[in-house]
Structure formats: C-alpha cells, structure tokens
C-alpha cells in the first residue's frame, strides 16, 4: 500500500520507501562484515519488525537463523503502557548464541531494555540491536543501539510494519497520520 492509497488519513511522509531501502542495505553490509562466521540469530520483535526483518535478512550476504518474539506495550494507543507483555515466545534456545535484535522503532526504550536483559538472562553470548527508527526525544530508558537507522521527531508514525490500532502496517513508507485519525483517544 502506498501513501496515495490512504491519502485522506496521512498528514505527511517522514521516511520514503527509497530511504528505508538504502538504510537497510547499508546496515546489512556492515552486519554481514561484523557477524561473518558467527552464525548469528536474528530476533525480530513482532509485529512491528516484520517488514524490516524481511528486507534486512534478504540484504545480508551471510547465512543467519531467525526467530520471533511477540511483545506488546502499546496496545491500541499511541503511548506506552510501561509494561511489556510476551504474547509469543522464541522457539530457539539462545544459550551461547550471538543475537541481533531487529526492531522497527525505539521510542521510550522500554521494550528493548526489557528484551536485552531477558536474552542475557537466558544465556546469550552477545546481544546487539538494529532499529530502523529512533525517537531520541522520547527516550526514558537507556538502550545501546549498535546499528542505527533514522532519527525521527516526537511524532507517532505508521507504515513499514508500524501500526496505529493495528492499521497501516502494510504502508510501504513511514508517515505521520492526520490528527483526526486519533480523535477520541
Ligand atoms: O521503545 P518503546 O516505547 O518500548 O516502543 C517500541 C515498541 O513499540 C512498538 O510495539 P507495539 O507495542 O506497538 O507492538 P506491535 O509491534 O505489535 O505493534 C514497536 O514495534 C516497538 O516494539
Ligand atoms: O511512533 C510509533 N508508531 C507506532 N508504534 C510505535 N511504538 C512506539 N512508537 C511508535
Ligand atoms: Mg504497535
């Protein structure tokens, strides 16, 4: 789906499809170099990271394994509930594994701070993060994002996996919704 398809609900585009692709390719080249021979496990945080994982994993030039964890802290709103809930856990034993978490966005940092600690507690050999987007102005918890994508302003965004109330995940770029879409929240 493109912005033109939902024009009436979009205020403006923030990161284009081409910019997303360029950044993902850039990070994938670096990660391929850093993890060659390490048999890394990509851990994607559902549901938001699905689009990023698909594009990123295909852009890598090394073999990787992938697993998924479904976490939620936002529910149907635009602000974090502050509590991370596991909706679905990994099926891989992470003990001794080099893990690269793949995320769509670091906003307050609560989701990733929790996940990094959890994976270390389970015995991972190393845990690093690739996040396509970051909102530095909203950070509440310190998280070290080794592979960074774009920094964006303090606006609630949708597209390329990111949702508002489960909608707009299949938009092919990142955009800001018109304020009236949030009306009644
Ligand atoms: O840094 P934080 O403030 O914790 O926010 C980031 C998290 O919030 C979103 O997930 P959400 O809870 O909306 O679940 P979803 O991926 O299924 O939409 C996003 O995909 C990140 O996982
Ligand atoms: O800006 C956002 N959009 C969608 N989901 C999110 N989760 C954290 N921040 C965001
Ligand atoms: Mg969400």
Instruction: Give the domain ranges of the chain.
Output: 16-155
Whose C-alpha lies nearest to ligand 1, atom 10?
Answer: 72
**Peptide bond preceding 33: is omega within 30 degrees of 0, i.e. cis?**
no
> What's the topology of domain 16-155?
Rossmann fold (3.40.50)
Question: Rounded to an integer, what distance in angstroms lies between the CA atom of residue 94 and that of residue 132?
Answer: 23
Whose C-alpha lies nearest to ligand 2, atom 8?
Answer: 107
Q: How far is CA 118 from the centre of its chain?
A: 17
What is the model's pLDDT at position 14? Answer: 97
Question: Rounded to an integer, what distance in angstroms lies between the CA atom of residue 55 and that of residue 47?
Answer: 15
74 pLDDT band (50/70/90 cuts)? low
The 10s digit of each residue's pLDDT in 13-22 is 999 999 999 9
84 pLDDT band (50/70/90 cuts)? confident
Burial class (CB in 10 A: 0-12, 13-18, 19+), 158: buried
107 among known catalytic residues = yes
Compute the distance from residue 49 Cα to the ligand 1 centre, in Å: 9
Give the closest ligand to the alpha carbon of residue 47. Answer: 1
Rounded mean pLDDT, 11-32: 98
The 10s digit of each residue's pLDDT in 107-166 is 999 999 999 999 999 999 999 999 999 999 999 999 999 999 999 999 999 999 999 999
DSSP 8-state class, residue 7: G
Give the closest ligand to the alpha carbon of residue 81. Answer: 1
Please tell me the number of Cα atoms within 13 Å of 167 on its side-chain side: 9
Rounded mean pLDDT, 68-73: 88
Nearest CA among 71, 78, 123 for reference residue 102? 71
Compute the distance from residue 34 Cα to the ligand 2 centre, in Å: 29
Compute the distance from residue 99 Cα to the ligand 2 centre, in Å: 23
Mean pLDDT score across all residues of the chain? 94
Helix, strand, coil fractions of the chain, as percent rounded to 5: 30, 30, 40
What is the model's pLDDT at position 42? Answer: 98
Rounded mean pLDDT, 50-69: 98
The one catalytic residue in 5, 8, 11, 107 is 107
């Amino acid at each position: 789906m493109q912005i033109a398809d939902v024009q009436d609900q979009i205020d403006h585009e923030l990161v284009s499809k081409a910019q997303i692709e360029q950044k993902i390719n850039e990070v994938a080249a670096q990660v391929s170099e850093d993890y060659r021979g390490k048999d890394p496990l990509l851990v994607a945080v559902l549901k938001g990271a699905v689009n990023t994982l698909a594009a990123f994993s295909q852009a890598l030039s090394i073999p990787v394994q992938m697993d998924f964890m479904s976490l939620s802290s936002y529910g149907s709103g635009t602000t974090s509930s502050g509590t991370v809930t596991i909706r679905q856990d990994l099926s891989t034993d992470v003990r001794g594994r080099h893990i690269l978490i793949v995320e769509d966005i670091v906003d307050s940092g609560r989701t990733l701070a929790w996940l990094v600690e959890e994976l270390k507690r389970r015995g991972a050999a190393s845990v690093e993060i690739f996040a396509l987007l970051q909102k530095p102005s909203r950070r509440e918890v310190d998280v070290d994002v080794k592979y960074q994508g774009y920094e964006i302003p303090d606006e609630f965004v949708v597209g390329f996996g990111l949702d508002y109330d489960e909608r707009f995940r299949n938009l092919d770029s990142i955009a800001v919704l018109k304020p009236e879409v949030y009306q009644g929240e």
